[in-house]
């Protein structure tokens, strides 16, 4: 194990080299823990094609799900940033497809979220609003809101999320609110509707009292809509990480 800059360390696990935070408490909320490998004695044959293992047919463990496969069923090496692997790692066919889809989030959506968007922000039931820049922190743990004032929301303390959308056709200008899932992070899509805002329910650090925050796109609606779409994908990963 060796230490590297920015509070991270290089760790060698049975699955490969990983770049992880020095303090585990500062893991990205999108990250997943390495799975427990299925013990060799419990998998005499491939868990996909059922081919028996022998001297020529070796067994391999998928680094994402931990199950055991033959070389044919677990031959792809795919990047897996959610587990902080430095290099692409061996994954089964099903897991490799999931990881490849997630790469779009890490390659594109994360950059959009950290770039930020301009929103009209209303806290709680206040009748006053403020135009603020909202962006995801570099460690992916917080949403920063910057305007005349500044505050932050920790992603792990968001309990629900609702998307506000405007129909894309000029004749229709209704705003639709999608029902949230209490106690779990959930976000819904609405067909061809374009996201125009977001309603968050969360708890501030050190408080158990639920709070509400409403965000609506400010002047640059295109950038704001792209940010909200990226946040939508982020919410799905957050929900998956919590569910595990």
What pLDDT, in 10s, does the model give residues 149-168?
Answer: 999 999 988 988 888 887 53
Question: Do residues 22 and 71 both lie within one domain?
Answer: yes
- Domain with 37 in it: 8-108
- Beta-carbon contacts of 38 under 8 Å, excluding residues fewer than 6 positions away, are 47, 61, 66, 67, 68
| CA 104/CA 172 separation, integer angstroms | 32
The pLDDT score that the predictor gives to residue 130 is: 95
Question: Do residues 128 and 83 both lie within one domain?
Answer: no
Number of compact structural domains in the chain? 2
Question: Do residues 239 and 123 both lie within one domain?
Answer: yes
124 in a structural domain: yes
Question: Do residues 142 and 221 both lie within one domain?
Answer: yes
The pLDDT score that the predictor gives to residue 99 is: 95
pTM of the entire structure?
0.76
Q: Is the pLDDT of residue 169 over 60?
A: no
The pLDDT score that the predictor gives to residue 243 is: 62
Question: Do residues 23 and 72 both lie within one domain?
Answer: yes
Question: Do residues 28 and 97 both lie within one domain?
Answer: yes
Torsion angles phi and psi, residue 152, rounded to 5: -140, 155
Q: Return the sign of the alpha-carbon dihedral for residues 138, 146, 231, 156.
A: positive
Question: Do residues 75 and 146 both lie within one domain?
Answer: no
- How many CB atoms lie under 10 A from the CB of residue 244? 8
Question: Do residues 135 and 214 both lie within one domain?
Answer: yes
60 in a structural domain: yes
Q: Which residue has the higher pLDDT, 203 or 184?
A: 203
Residues recorded for the chain: 244
138 in a structural domain: yes
For position 127, which CATH number holds? 2.30.29.160
Q: For residue 213, what are the CA distances in angstroms to 119, 124, 160, 192, 198? A: 11, 6, 11, 25, 8
The pLDDT score that the predictor gives to residue 24 is: 63
């Amino acid at each position: 194990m060796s230490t590297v800059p920015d509070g991270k360390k290089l760790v060698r696990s049975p699955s490969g080299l990983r770049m992880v935070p020095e303090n585990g408490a500062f893991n990205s909320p999108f990250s997943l823990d390495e799975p427990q490998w299925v013990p060799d004695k419990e998998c005499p044959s491939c868990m996909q094609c059922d081919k028996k293992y022998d001297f020529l047919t070796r067994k391999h463990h998928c680094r994402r799900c931990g199950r055991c496969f033959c070389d044919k069923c677990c031959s792809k090496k795919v990047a897996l940033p959610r587990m902080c692997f430095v290099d692409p790692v061996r994954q089964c066919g099903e897991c490799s497809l999931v990881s490849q889809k997630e790469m779009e989030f890490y390659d594109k959506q994360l950059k959009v979220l950290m770039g930020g968007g301009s929103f009209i922000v209303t806290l709680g039931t206040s009748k006053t609003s403020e135009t603020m820049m909202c962006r995801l922190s570099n460690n992916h743990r917080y949403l920063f809101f910057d305007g005349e004032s500044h505050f932050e929301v920790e992603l792990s303390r968001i309990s629900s999320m609702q998307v506000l959308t405007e129909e894309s056709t000029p004749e229709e200008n209704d705003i639709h609110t999608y029902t949230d899932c209490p106690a779990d992070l959930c976000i819904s899509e609405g067909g061809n509707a374009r996201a125009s805002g977001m309603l968050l329910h969360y708890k501030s650090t050190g408080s158990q009292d639920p709070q509400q925050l409403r965000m609506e796109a400010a002047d640059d609606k295109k950038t704001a809509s792209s940010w909200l779409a990226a946040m939508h994908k982020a919410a799905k990963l957050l929900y998956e990480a919590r569910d595990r």
